Structure 1
């Protein structure tokens, strides 16, 4: 899916098309998290297009194209601040927000930026959290006299895996770096955030979890379990009969609840009830069916369990 989404620098003359993206994102998607009054103040019918065009030229964003149509845009300032991040409300659940965020990570890596920040709407926070952003503080900004809550969120690259700064990719004055062809190239260690995200939602059975959150949780769980099993073997506390040792048993017990919770949220994300997790008690067949369910992509758009974690904006 991502290969059909083209990310490129904004071009002068596209300001009106980007306002259409901005407007649809707020009026069609954000309305689930904000009142009608807040929506009208945030993206008014009578916006000053001259001021809007100046704002777009100032932030110089990247745009997302799908079949030749502009369907999203986002910017990355030299300070690491993300001012705008919007996905068209007419194209939900197609991975556009994810692809834009991936590109911003690529840009940050190329420029040697180790910290990203943004004032993020309630609607976009699940997407940002999925990429490892954390809430720093809640804000209550006003537009046209109406309070529209958001949160300052921050992502920081761990110091021990910070990129080299002595030879960044060349960038000519007044130009933006060209999109890189790789589908995803986040800084090393970024995938660990998915595991940590699942731990933060330790006993959260509501909402949705995309494939990345579920499978990276499983991956790091197994890696830690294997490492602890080796230690158990060295200490003589490993039991061949049970297939685990003392430390492995503690890990299994400690992560039992988040394992169930992330499984339930993953089923929710595919449009299914969490009760399908009971298939695990059916030998072999149940496990195979659940593996198929867990491998499926997110259900497009909102469903009964919440908004798509793939379609969010700041």
Structure 2
């Protein structure tokens, strides 16, 4: 598996993976109405183009296609971390997360924060994120609960280097 920056050519595959993961994985933790509301923007090509252009947006790829994607905004907001249903439990999310955290540390960010789904909360907690608060955002008229989670980052100071 390789990690690389997403390109515009990846957008249809990113949208499909987003849709499939919410439908097949997140549906265990959310109602059918919540799943429908959440996955509703999967074909918003302009929205995906904007995200890929503005964020540090990575895809995980194997010869047969994308296995996951993740993105980080310049302010330290981890916007996306999705892994295909066929590749759950294979370390894809861990590799994507580590790449984003490495990038954030390189930018000198003091922390990374995300809005973790019920499904993703244990994963983020395992990787040192702490719940700051429970949230109930409304997506397409439906409450889709999640958790604001934060991970402090070690800041490297030039005076500590030998």
TM score, norm. by length of structure 2: 0.89
In the alignment, what sits opposite 2:124? 128
User: How far apart are 1:60 and its partner, in Å?
Assistant: 4.4
1:156 aligns with 152
1:230-265 CA-partner distances (Å, limit 9, x unpaired): xxxxxxxxxxxxxxxxxxxxxxxxxxxxxxxxxxxx
Report deviation, 1:52.
3.5
1:1-314 paired onto structure 2 within 5 Å: 5-44=1-40, 47-157=43-153, 162-164=155-157
Residue correspondences, number: 159
**In the TM superposition, what is the alpha-carbon distance from 1:45 to its structure 2 partner?**
7.9
8 Å Cα contact 1:24-1:90 kept in structure 2: no
Question: What is the deviation of 1:79?
Answer: 1.3
Change (3 A) 1:36 1:86: same
| Superposition deviation, residue 46 in structure 1 | 7.5
Deviates more, 1:110-119 or 1:52-61: 52-61
Gaps in structure 2 of 5+ consecutive residues: none
Once residues 108 and 13 of structure 1 are traced to their aligned partners in structure 2, the CA distance between those partners, rounded to angstroms, is 25
Which structure's residues are more often helix, by fraction? 1
**Pairwise CA distance, 1:68:** 4.8
Residue segments in structure 1 that go unaligned for 5+ positions in a row: 167-314
Distance change in 2, residues 1:165/1:63 (3 Å): farther
TM-score normalized with structure 1 length: 0.48
1:90 partner SS: helix
Say if 1:112 and 1:165, in contact at 8 Å, map to a contact too: no
User: Which whole-Å deviations, capped at 9, do the CAs of 1:255-282 have from their partners, x for residues lacking one?
Assistant: xxxxxxxxxxxxxxxxxxxxxxxxxxxx
**Residue 162 to residue 58, structure 1, CA distance change in 2 (3 Å):** closer
| Greater per-residue strand proportion | 2
Offset at 1:11?
1.3
